Structure 1
Amino acid sequence: MSSPDPDNARTAGATDAATEPAPIKAVPLRRPGRWVAAIVIAILFALFVYGAATNEGYQWGTYLSYLFDVRITEGALVTLELTVLAMVIGVVLGVTLAVMRLSPNPVLRSVSWGYLWIFRGTPVYVQLLFWGLFPSLYKVIELGIPFGGPHFTHWNVQQWQAPFLFAMIGLGLNESAYMAEIVRAGINSVDEGQREASYALGMSWSRTMWRTVLPQAMRVIIPPTGNELISMLKTTSLVTAIPLTIDLYGRAHDISSVNFKPVPLLLVAATWYLVITSVLMVGQYYLERYYSRGASRRLTGRQLRALAATTNLGEVAK
């Protein structure tokens, strides 16, 4: 056999190197429109802040003097308590109404539909007005056998001086109608095969709903529930219809009616609403992330680092 000619091999190598394409250089796409838009927005925002800071109509001195006033902080605490209690009523009753709406029992379905029709079809302010007039509509509540039968107990409603209780009930009952539709949408998002598997294991309809369907529906239920909680916080400002004036907005309104400075007191109330809403949004974010585990194929930073470490260990072992 003849040995390969080194001159021919060198020539072939030079030819291959000459024909090899040059490496592609990635050039980032320039987007001047984004920079122009950002600069314009920044200038407008700076002008707005400067104009508000130099506008004497805002009365920033009064705003700072009442921002941490004891009456305002107590009103903020009452608003937070009212929000949480009304939301608890709305969630518990809303889940019950959603299950009734999906029940095979026609009586339960009809009752749930009628409840939703009434409380979703009338404004919440009108409902709160009715709850404010409740002592005049029902002076005495008696519990017993109707049509002349004996009465076991009775309550004198006119002696109840509990506007906070009526506000909590009114907001909770109204919220339950919307929570029922949110829960129903979450239940319907669960695959039908989950219910069929539960039925095959011998579970009843109610047990299947509480043990199989509702836990999986939480991923869909949690985001709009967080939005409803934030909305409930702001809806508490309507409890002046009861009337309830110990909440955040009621205290700010009472103070402004005395010193005749409504603008800075409104800014104080808006600041507290914004702070509480921001805290609730942070809690909503972490709660959504907890219930969204396994629903997305996108890996987190920790998972990517663990995967890279595992790959490097496998290469070293080889």
Structure 2
Amino acid sequence: MPDAVAVKRHYGRWLSVAILAAIALGAIKSLAENPQLEWDVVAQYLFDGLILEGLAQTVILALISMLAATAIGLIFGFFRLSSNPVLRTVGSLYIWVFRSVPALIQILFWGNLALFAPRLGLGIPGTGWNLVSAPTNDVLSPFAASIVALALANGAYLAEIIRSGLLSVDEGQHLASSALGLTWWQAQRKVILPQALRVMVPPAGNQFITLLKETSLVSVIAGGDILSKAENISGYNLRTIELLIVAAVWYLLVTSAATLAQTFIERRSSRGHTQQRRKAPSPESTMNEKEVTL
């Protein structure tokens, strides 16, 4: 008869869980019973029309900025890997500048561009001849300025993410693509980028979640996000904390949804890579097949 296996008791874990649960319950109880907080105001404005409008603007702002930042990141990520020293320098300068300057300053810069550039135009420099010209505030509304600022700021981070993903692909894949007669673009699109995506998806997903939270910064130029709407409402009902709680709840829900989507995409990409590895013949089996053929 086999000896019974003794189950190790993790009393320390249970004790730490009990302590953390007690702290959490105490904090919740303190907030719920705080006479200075009017929870009925939180419930009233949680699904208010202005708040939901700000929520939609926040999601749209994040999605458009992420798409633009990805395009920018692809361009400057390839610049950083280029054999052309001019392109490498341009890519390095862009990443250095836009990663060094805080996103809030960039948002304020683009939001107040009209202070030193009242009009934006397209023409021939030095001639005074403009093909197109318009007031800056008409071209760069607060929403458009927010997209430009967030896209440029996050594009610098995505450029490094894309560069690291491209570098993770073995050099043999590049050589094999050349041997098959693929052009540089065909090799990148069909061979290199699909393999690099597996490495780029996790940090790119984290960057999108960071971008979602950074949309709150555009409230300084009235970008129309959920925090801007919450601040506008609190400006006339003077319930600042309650409206901040409303905004925090929605940010928590949106970032949680983005986290779940990121997890799903990561599992799908890793599953495809695993299946590809299983289908790929091993070197030993290939050698055996050659021997049998001979």
Amino acid at match of 2:267: R
SS for the counterpart of 2:271 is coil
Q: Pick which of 203-212 and 216-225 moved more.
A: 203-212
The residue that corresponds to 1:275 in the other structure is 253
Amino acid at match of 1:49: I
| Greater gyration radius | 1
The residue that corresponds to 1:34 in the other structure is 13
After superposition, the Cα gap between the structure-2 partners of 1:35 and 1:144, relative to the gap in structure 1 and judged at 3 Å, is: closer
The residue that corresponds to 1:211 in the other structure is 190
Q: Is the 8 A contact 2:142 2:223 kept in 1?
A: no
The residue that corresponds to 2:278 in the other structure is none
In the TM superposition, residue 24 of structure 1 has moved relative to its aligned partner by 3.1
The residue that corresponds to 2:289 in the other structure is none
1:178 maps onto 2:140 in alignment:
no
Q: Is the 8 A contact 1:136 1:158 kept in 2?
A: no
Q: Pick which of 244-253 and 150-159 moved more.
A: 150-159
Question: Where do residues 97-112 of structure 1 align in structure 2 (5 Å cutoff)?
Answer: 97-112=76-91
SS for the counterpart of 1:76 is helix
Which residue among 21, 36, 39 is the counterpart of 1:60? 39
Question: Where do residues 251-290 of structure 1 align in structure 2 (5 Å cutoff)?
Answer: 251-290=229-268
1:185-236 deviations in whole A, cap 9, x for unaligned? 1111111211121122223334322321111011111111111111111101
Give unmatched runs, 5+ long, in structure 2.
276-294
Amino acid at match of 1:105: N
Aligned partners of 2:132, 2:171: CA distance in 1, in Å? Answer: 48
The residue that corresponds to 1:228 in the other structure is 207
In the TM superposition, residue 278 of structure 1 has moved relative to its aligned partner by 1.1
Which residue among 66, 83, 88 is the counterpart of 2:67? 88
1:164-202 deviations in whole A, cap 9, x for unaligned? 111111111111000000111111111121112112222
Aligned partners of 1:245, 1:97: CA distance in 2, in Å? Answer: 27
After superposition, the Cα gap between the structure-2 partners of 1:173 and 1:110, relative to the gap in structure 1 and judged at 3 Å, is: same
Aligned partners of 2:26, 2:246: CA distance in 1, in Å? Answer: 22
The residue that corresponds to 1:293 in the other structure is 271
The residue that corresponds to 2:57 in the other structure is 78
Aligned partners of 2:138, 2:126: CA distance in 1, in Å? Answer: 26
TM value normalised by structure 1: 0.81
Q: Pick which of 107-116 and 82-91 moved more.
A: 107-116
The residue that corresponds to 1:304 in the other structure is none
Give unmatched runs, 5+ long, in structure 1.
1-21, 298-318
In the TM superposition, residue 94 of structure 1 has moved relative to its aligned partner by 0.5
In the TM superposition, residue 150 of structure 1 has moved relative to its aligned partner by 4.5
After superposition, the Cα gap between the structure-2 partners of 1:142 and 1:56, relative to the gap in structure 1 and judged at 3 Å, is: same
Q: Is the 8 A contact 1:245 1:251 kept in 2?
A: no
SS for the counterpart of 1:82 is helix
The residue that corresponds to 1:49 in the other structure is 28
Aligned partners of 1:245, 1:193: CA distance in 2, in Å? Answer: 47
The residue that corresponds to 2:179 in the other structure is 200
Aligned partners of 1:109, 1:52: CA distance in 2, in Å? Answer: 53
Q: Is the 8 A contact 2:80 2:91 kept in 1?
A: yes
SS for the counterpart of 2:63 is helix
Aligned partners of 1:261, 1:187: CA distance in 2, in Å? Answer: 50
SS for the counterpart of 1:292 is helix
Q: Is the 8 A contact 1:119 1:177 kept in 2?
A: yes
Q: Pick which of 247-256 and 199-208 moved more.
A: 199-208
SS for the counterpart of 2:36 is helix
The residue that corresponds to 2:217 in the other structure is 238
SS for the counterpart of 1:246 is coil
- Percent sequence identity is 38
TM value normalised by structure 2: 0.88
Aligned partners of 1:114, 1:165: CA distance in 2, in Å? Answer: 24
Matched pairs, number: 275
Aligned partners of 1:154, 1:197: CA distance in 2, in Å? Answer: 50
1:247-305 deviations in whole A, cap 9, x for unaligned? 100111111121111111110000011111111111111111111115569xxxxxxxx
The residue that corresponds to 1:157 in the other structure is 136
